[in-house]
Chains A and B, each alone.
Chain A
């Protein structure tokens, strides 16, 4: 952990970001460099990788810091998303380290679902490759607001500005065609440590921020602060003599104040908020992500899976969904079966009625509808539900616009859906 000494520092909260790249582009080395140069690597961890590096006849290999499980070390591969942590004086960072080669769609979508920023690594020698474009469009599909293209291995192209500039041009051209707008570029050498945490002495022509400066200053303000109020009920507290029946949950978008009119879905009954309670006492109002207990003016029957919403701007009450469905399971989609669909705190039975088309991530083209979806496929589908859900478009609200699909037999999470 970096030494945090200054007492008057601003706490800029948490930034969750993912790192993606193709094989051998130095992703593990970059993460190792970030952790090492921000002093998140401690002496005993360093001693362990020094021992391993020596055993393998290498100098200090920072990529070993992100090695995980025995199976992975034996096979020299990464099998799953790993989470890493570091903090600087102003912000806490959570890295989702998504392996690039196998099952990249499954891993990327998983890592991207909670990330606010994606670092795409590009090898300065090879430029923008298919894998880069795939990762970029997946990050865009899942709605990550910030994209950072880190052009790595600048040391292997003699730190030439033209090598960097041509990759920037190439990527911007691709981004414009894909509708990707917020992109930043930084030339780095993860191996030598240039422009990651320290500026280093090898890139004097680059005047922009280091990668860490980009991470420290990225805007994490959430558009859901001003979105219509959505409060999925997680749990109902029984009345206890002092308090009335309370509805526990977290404000997933918008805000609420005592006296505000809210609608209960699915019934559509409207009432007013009579109290906002927390462990620390009662509040007159509460904002995004507040974990609160709401009490209502009228005694109406509310249970888990119901949603309290803005009376003025309610979501759609819907038994049919059009969605992009990313299939995550080894067993392919069976359109004859019913699955469980979990949307916020609500579980309903669902069936895929129709696959409209398959989305080819590599070519970014729609392809004719296949008979089923297999692992790592993304298809545009129509679902019918046994009971309604209260849905917004994913583009408007990631919480009320997303769902997972669960196989009732294995209980596995088999798909992730983004509502259109």
Chain B
């Protein structure tokens, strides 16, 4: 489907006074489900937060939250766990978007967790991706959050394929895949005891392609590094590794300047771009539809270490 066709289906102010069946197309169906979920969080939870990184999935969450709660304010603050190894373009975008929305943004950093001894690094350049769990759980305890809304999707990873939309975490922040609460119809159970919380994933049923189609339909702004740009990279195995202060070239590696874009924007030390000439959203949609490598497979160096990496991280409290 082209962007033009997607835009055609959009209800613009004053243009279509009758809201007919919204599931007439797949994006309408997904949007309606996600708004319902966000309002259930607001209705059921005492003190929720929305995890916002500046990445594309959390940008979609923010638009869905606008649709759920405007003209009022969001019934939750935005929370970002900053590894200190984020791409500056993404951090700038995060602050820009939070300010634009006029919503409260809480930032807690892995850097502080390291300084306070809560996180111990094996070496200074180690990926901080996994360590985010400590900082996140500390932030949840600090603010007493009973729900964290995240942008994880079931199509991303096989451990996520089995996770509930409302996913229970015990007092240690752990996910137990073997004893998940049954989830039927659209009746969600967000009840927790003291110190426990739920993670809520309103876009569980979206795929990478759905996300980009929605970004196009809603004309959402995205951080510039999602679009093709010229960047210094080295080839390491099948991956293109960006050359940064944190990830310098190794001996004998040749630095090349290539046209690349990021499909995910995580910790710099474990996020790799893909070769691309897609300089606008429509071109990204075309590339995504024709992609031959999964989103995380192409770009997340941390998921390739062991087939079960995500499952292990999730059990420890990861997003």
A residues within 8 Å of B by Cβ? Answer: 1-5, 7-9, 11, 13-14, 42-45, 48, 67-71, 79-85, 87, 91-92, 94, 106, 109-110, 113-114, 220, 222, 225, 234-235, 237-238, 240, 242-243, 248-250, 276-292, 304, 328, 340, 342, 344-345, 398-399, 402-404, 406, 411-413, 416
B14 close to chain A: CB less than 8 A = yes
B residues within 8 Å of A by Cβ? Answer: 1-2, 4-5, 9-14, 16-26, 28-32, 35-36, 39-40, 42-43, 66-72, 75, 154-155, 158-159, 161-162, 168, 177-178, 180-187, 189, 191-193, 204-205, 207-210, 288-294, 297-298, 307-308, 311
Contact (Cβ within 8 A) B18 A283 = yes
- Chain A CB within 10 A, most for which of B21, B69, B186, B297: B21
* CB-defined contacts of A13 to chain B, threshold 8 Å: 23-26, 28-29
* CB-defined contacts of A84 to chain B, threshold 8 Å: 155, 161
Contact (Cβ within 8 A) A234 B43 = yes
Given A44-B298, A240-B72, check contact A80 B180 (CB 8 Å): yes
The contact sample of 24 A-B pairs, CB cut-off 8 A, is A1-B291, A2-B289, A7-B1, A7-B4, A11-B9, A11-B24, A42-B291, A42-B292, A82-B158, A92-B29, A92-B210, A94-B205, A110-B184, A237-B69, A248-B69, A250-B36, A283-B16, A284-B17, A286-B19, A287-B20, A290-B32, A404-B189, A406-B191, A413-B182
Q: Of the candidates B35, B207, B311, which one forms a contact with A69 in the assembled complex, judged by CB atoms under 8 Å apart?
A: B311
Contact (Cβ within 8 A) A71 B178 = yes
- In angstroms, Cα B21 to Cα A225, docked, is 8
Q: Of the candidates B5, B12, B297, B311, which one forms a contact with A42 in the assembled complex, judged by CB atoms under 8 Å apart?
A: B297
* CB-defined contacts of B189 to chain A, threshold 8 Å: 342, 404, 406, 411-413
* CB-defined contacts of A342 to chain B, threshold 8 Å: 187, 189
Contact (Cβ within 8 A) B290 A109 = no
* CB-defined contacts of A110 to chain B, threshold 8 Å: 182-184
Contact (Cβ within 8 A) A416 B184 = yes
Given A110-B183, A402-B187, A411-B193, check contact A237 B35 (CB 8 Å): no
* CB-defined contacts of B187 to chain A, threshold 8 Å: 342, 344, 402-404
Q: Whole-angstrom distance from the CB of B165 to the nearest CB of chain A?
A: 10
Q: Of the candidates A3, A94, A240, which one forms a contact with B290 in the assembled complex, judged by CB atoms under 8 Å apart?
A: A3
Q: Whole-angstrom distance from the CB of A273 to the nearest CB of chain B?
A: 13
Given A44-B298, A288-B21, check contact A85 B205 (CB 8 Å): yes
Q: Whole-angstrom distance from the CB of A161 to the nearest CB of chain B?
A: 37
Given A114-B185, A342-B187, check contact A85 B207 (CB 8 Å): yes
- In angstroms, Cα B45 to Cα A235, docked, is 11
Contact (Cβ within 8 A) A250 B29 = no
Question: Closest chain B residue to A111 by CB distance?
Answer: B184
Given A92-B26, A291-B67, A304-B43, check contact A404 B184 (CB 8 Å): yes
* CB-defined contacts of A9 to chain B, threshold 8 Å: 1
Q: Whole-angstrom distance from the CB of B176 to the nearest CB of chain A?
A: 10
Closest 5 A-B residue pairs measured CB to CB?
A44-B297, A281-B13, A291-B35, A286-B19, A113-B184
Q: Of the candidates B191, B209, B292, which one forms a contact with A43 in the assembled complex, judged by CB atoms under 8 Å apart?
A: B292
- In angstroms, Cα B182 to Cα A184, docked, is 30
Q: Whole-angstrom distance from the CB of B34 to the nearest CB of chain A?
A: 9
Given A242-B71, A280-B13, check contact A70 B1 (CB 8 Å): no
Contact (Cβ within 8 A) B24 A416 = no
Given A91-B26, A281-B13, A289-B22, check contact A240 B184 (CB 8 Å): no
- In angstroms, Cα B256 to Cα A302, docked, is 63
Q: Whole-angstrom distance from the CB of B229 to the nearest CB of chain A?
A: 24
Contact (Cβ within 8 A) A7 B43 = no
Q: Whole-angstrom distance from the CB of A99 to the nearest CB of chain B?
A: 11
Contacts A11-B24, A281-B11, A399-B185 known; 14 new A-B pairs at CB < 8 A: A1-B208, A5-B289, A42-B292, A42-B293, A44-B298, A83-B162, A280-B12, A281-B12, A285-B19, A287-B19, A287-B21, A289-B23, A404-B184, A411-B192
* CB-defined contacts of A45 to chain B, threshold 8 Å: 294, 297
Q: Whole-angstrom distance from the CB of A116 to the nearest CB of chain B?
A: 11
Contact (Cβ within 8 A) B67 A248 = no
Q: Of the candidates B22, B39, B193, which one forms a contact with A249 in the assembled complex, judged by CB atoms under 8 Å apart?
A: B39
Q: Whole-angstrom distance from the CB of A347 to the nearest CB of chain B?
A: 9
- In angstroms, Cα B4 to Cα A399, docked, is 35
* CB-defined contacts of A281 to chain B, threshold 8 Å: 11-14
* CB-defined contacts of B161 to chain A, threshold 8 Å: 68, 82-84
Given A287-B20, A290-B32, A304-B43, check contact A279 B185 (CB 8 Å): no
* CB-defined contacts of B35 to chain A, threshold 8 Å: 250, 291
* CB-defined contacts of A222 to chain B, threshold 8 Å: 21, 23
* CB-defined contacts of B210 to chain A, threshold 8 Å: 92
- In angstroms, Cα B22 to Cα A285, docked, is 12
- In angstroms, Cα B130 to Cα A230, docked, is 45
Contact (Cβ within 8 A) A290 B19 = yes
- In angstroms, Cα B75 to Cα A240, docked, is 14
Q: Whole-angstrom distance from the CB of A43 to the nearest CB of chain B?
A: 5
Given A42-B297, A69-B162, A87-B207, check contact A287 B13 (CB 8 Å): no
- Chain A CB within 10 A, most for which of B155, B185, B207: B185
- In angstroms, Cα B162 to Cα A84, docked, is 9
Q: Of the candidates A1, A11, A68, which one forms a contact with B162 in the assembled complex, judged by CB atoms under 8 Å apart?
A: A68
- In angstroms, Cα B154 to Cα A69, docked, is 13
* CB-defined contacts of B25 to chain A, threshold 8 Å: 11, 13
* CB-defined contacts of A279 to chain B, threshold 8 Å: 66-67, 70
Q: Whole-angstrom distance from the CB of A255 to the nearest CB of chain B?
A: 8
* CB-defined contacts of A249 to chain B, threshold 8 Å: 39
- In angstroms, Cα B185 to Cα A398, docked, is 8
* CB-defined contacts of B192 to chain A, threshold 8 Å: 411
- In angstroms, Cα B19 to Cα A412, docked, is 37
- In angstroms, Cα B315 to Cα A195, docked, is 40
- In angstroms, Cα B141 to Cα A326, docked, is 36
